[in-house]
Amino acid sequence: MRTGRLMGIAICAVVISAAQAQVNRCTNAAGQSIYTDAPCAEGQTSKLIERQKSAAEIAQDRANADAATDRKYRAQAAERAPQDAPLPSPRQTSAQTPLATTPACKNAQKEVEFVSSIRTLPPDEKRVRTNAAITNVNAACGTNTPLMQEPPKVIVKANPVITHCDSGFCYDDVGAVYKKTNADAITAADGRTCTRSAGKSAASWHCS
C-alpha cells in the first residue's frame, strides 16, 4: 500500500515538473522503481508510463479539465438554487390573484346592481350613488368603467324668443321646448312659467 502511494506521488511530481515530457518507470535489479522523464540507467528495466504529448493534446486536456470544473460548479449552483430562492412577498402573491374573483369585487358589483335597480331615487341622487358604486368596482376589480355624466342643463332665457308653436308645445330660437298651458302661457323645462304680454308680438315672452 505504501509503495503504491509513493508511486502515485512520484508520478504526479514528474508530470507537474515536466508537463510535456514522457514518463518512464525504471526498475533496478532489487525491484525498486523510480519515475523519470529521462531514459533509464543501464541495467534498469524501462517501461513507458506516459508518452510525450503534443502541444495540441496538452491544450485539449486543459480545456477538458476547465469544462469539467465548470460543469461541477454549475451542478452545485443548481442544487443550491431552490434553497436560496426568496419566498414571494404578500404583494407578489396578491398580484397573481385575479381581482375579478375576489369577494370585495363581487360585493362591489352587487352594490352597482342594487343602486341601478332603485326606481324611486331622483335622477341626480341616483347618478351620484351609481358613480360611487362604480368607483368602488373599479378599485376592487381593477376595471376602468366610466362614470355616468351629468346630463346637459337646459338654460331658459328670461325673455325667450319663441319662433313657433304647435298644438301642444312651443319652441324658441335656441331649441328649448315649452309646454303650452294656454294661448298666452307656456311652461319651461325648468318649471318656470312664461307668459306673453298682451298686445305684444308672438315672440314677446317673459319667464318668471
Average confidence (pLDDT) over 84-111: 69
Helix-helix angle 123-141:103-117, to 10 degrees:
170
Mean pLDDT of 16-25: 60
Judged by DSSP in three states, 93 sits in helix
Lowest mean pLDDT among 54-58, 82-86, 126-130, 147-151: 82-86
Which tens digits make up the pLDDT trace of 21-74? 677 788 888 888 887 777 888 888 878 777 776 778 777 877 877 887 887 778
Answer yes or no: is pLDDT of 125 > 70: yes
**d(Cα 189, Cα 181) in Å, to the nearest integer?**
13
pLDDT greater than 70 at residue 166? yes
pLDDT of residue 131: 87
Q: Which residues pair with 35 in a beta bridge?
A: 25
Q: How far apart are CA 36 and CA 25, in angstroms?
A: 7
The answer to whether 17 and 36 have CB atoms below 8 angstroms apart is: no
Whether pLDDT at 193 is above 60: yes
Q: Residue 160 carries which DSSP code?
A: -
- What does each C-alpha distance from 34 to 23, 31, 91, 94, 181 come to in angstroms? 10, 10, 70, 72, 133
Highest mean pLDDT among 52-66, 126-140, 147-161: 126-140
Mean pLDDT computed over every residue of the chain: 75
